Amino acid sequence: MTARDKILAAVKNSQPSLQALPAMENFAPIQYADVVEQFKNVLEAIGGKVVMINSLNDINDFIVQHFDTDKIIITTIEDLPVIKKLDASVDAHLLANIELAILPSLFAVAENGAVWLTEKEMKIRALPFICQQLAVVVNKKDIINNMQDAYDIISQNEYAFADFIAGPSKTADIEQSLVLGAHGPGNMIVFIME
């Protein structure tokens, strides 16, 4: 008897009689009067930063003002002017030198400050984790209330890999002192486009 058959037989023998799944519509999840304000407050509380923009051009202006443009800054957004586009065929290990990566996000969640990115937006899976700083662009109309709304969208989604990212990489393993930039980006900016 294989381990598989053994486990399945034991489980079948042990499991109790069927209990029904609860309806997900049994309660109404939280709604916010102003989802943008809520998203901004939560993201800032977990170490991220929100920047409001009117067009993709504003991103470049912001970067020139706030970043060392001698360092490697790349994007996976084709329409983003000036910024160098990621070569998706490059070996992921070579991305370790990237100072700032700018990626698009399909939507953002007000209740917890998370943005949703699939492999399509990342092009290379390691990108949003290996860069020193991360920026994500999301449309203002794509900020939703809560995770139930999020999975209403995701349930229809096809992806090979995807991630909710909420703020910079962090740890509090040393005496519960919060430190940003554990292994991934030490900063996270979310550009919200009007």
Q: Which helix (H) or strand (E) holds 74?
A: strand 73-75
Q: What is the contact mask toward other proteins in residues 43 to 72, using x (rule: CB under 8 A)?
A: ---x--------------------------
> What is the smallest separation between the CB atom of 38 and other proteins, expressed in angstroms?
11
Indicate the Cα dihedral angle 182, 103, 137, 170, nearest 10°: -10
| CB-nearer residue toward other proteins: 17 or 65 | 17
Residue span binding other proteins (CB under 8 A) among the ranges 79-87, 100-108, 135-143, 158-166: 158-166
What part of residues 76-135 is at the interface with other proteins (CB under 8 A)?
92-93, 96, 111-114, 119, 124-126, 129-130
| Number of amino acids touching other proteins (CB under 8 A) | 73
Give the count of alpha carbons within 13 A of 30, CB side only.
11
**Which CB atom, from 79 or from 93, has the smaller least distance to other proteins?**
93
The alpha carbon torsion through 64, 67, 73, 74 (nearest 10 deg) reads -70
Extract the tokens encoding 79.
């329409």
In whole angstroms, the minimum distance from the beta carbon of 5 to other proteins comes to: 9
Residue 4: exposed, middle, or buried by beta-carbon count in 10 A (0-12, 13-18, 19+)? exposed
Shortest spacing between CB 24 and other proteins, in angstroms:
6
Q: Does 33 bind other proteins (CB under 8 A)?
A: no
Q: Is 11 in the site for other proteins (CB under 8 A)?
A: yes
β-sheet with 107-109: strand ranges across = 114-118, 107-109, 143-144
Minimum CB distance to other proteins smaller for 34 or for 194: 34
Single out the residue of 120, 121, 116, 118 nearest to residue 101, CA to CA. Answer: 121
Q: Please report how close the Cβ of residue 43 comes to other proteins at its closest, in angstroms.
A: 10
Q: How far is the CB of 64 from other proteins (least distance, A)?
A: 28
Span from 57-65, 76-84, 97-105, 165-173 in contact with other proteins (CB under 8 A): 165-173
Distance CA 189, CA 134 (A): 6
Q: Is 130 helix (H, G, I), strand (E, B) or coil?
A: helix
Q: Residue 55 or 171: which CB sits closer to other proteins?
A: 171
